[in-house]
Amino acid sequence: MNFLSHYYLHRNEDDNYLNIGLTLPDVLGLHNSRVRLSERFISEIEINDDKTESLINGVKLHLNLDKYFHKSDFFKEKVNFIQVEYLKASGEENIAIYYAHILLEILIDRYLLIKYPNIAKEFYSSYKDFDFNDIVGIFLNLKNFDSYKFIEFTKKLAYSDFLYRYTDNFAVISSLKRVTTLIGLPIEITTDERVIANFIGSAYLNLEKSISKLFKDLKKINFLE
């Protein structure tokens, strides 16, 4: 799942270390596409204080939620839905599973932006209020971790505004291009982007009720057990 979904489900207004941990695995992967934060690495981190424990609990919540979500029937069915409907809309252009996966998660975040208009502002504030220099030492032994690039990336993220634009269909296309380029697998869209934008709007309307149910179901699960 994406930033806002992780933040929405498990945020704690009194514990920003936990809040940062909720999206840290994705941030580490985005600052360098060769970085993977594994459960094994997390299990070997020495926890000597409450702040580190909160941060790692956030990371565990992220990893456990993603594992559950990506194995769920919802995920499989909705990724397939996007692939089928994308092909119908474009007439000839397929969208690979990986890109359909990213688009689905963006549309899930769109649901949150519509239902909770302040959530993106809250998320960005949590990043602006956090000093990432305080946690760099935890990840120095993580393969391909670059402390300078990591700090620069978190600053850029804290003062970005792309999450606000997930409600705009053309901005979603731009986000797809940006994210897939960051991870080294840039998407190529040859179909008229006006057609794809219309498809995105229609797909969201079809998914909206099932996304609402998804969040209700996820709220019932303890992902730290």
Please write the tens of the pLDDT for every residue from 92-125: 788 899 999 999 999 999 999 999 999 999 999 9
What Å distances lie between residue 157 and 73, 130, 154, CA to CA?
A: 32, 12, 5
pLDDT at 74: 98
Q: What does the alpha-carbon distance between residue 116 and residue 17 come to, in Å, rounded to a whole number? A: 22
Domain-wise residue ranges, the chain = 3-218
pLDDT at 192: 94
Return the closest-CA partner of residue 7 out of 171, 100, 121, 133: 121
Under DSSP, the state recorded for 162 is G
Q: What does the alpha-carbon distance between residue 208 and residue 104 come to, in Å, rounded to a whole number? A: 11
- Give pTM, 2 decimals: 0.94
For the chain, what percent of residues have pLDDT higher than 90? 93
* Average pLDDT score over residue span 28-45: 93
Q: What does the alpha-carbon distance between residue 177 and residue 187 come to, in Å, rounded to a whole number? A: 6
pLDDT at 184: 87
Could you tell me the two tokens for 188? 């190529």
Q: Residue 91's pLDDT band (boundaries 50, 70, 90)?
A: confident
Please write the tens of the pLDDT for every residue from 121-172: 999 999 999 999 999 999 999 999 999 999 999 999 999 999 999 999 999 9
End-to-end CA distance of the chain: 19
Average pLDDT, the chain: 96
Residue 225 pLDDT exceeds 80 = no
What Å distances lie between residue 188 and 90, 96, 100, 102, 175, CA to CA?
A: 13, 11, 13, 14, 13
In degrees and rounded to multiples of 5, residue 117 shows phi and psi of: -55, -25
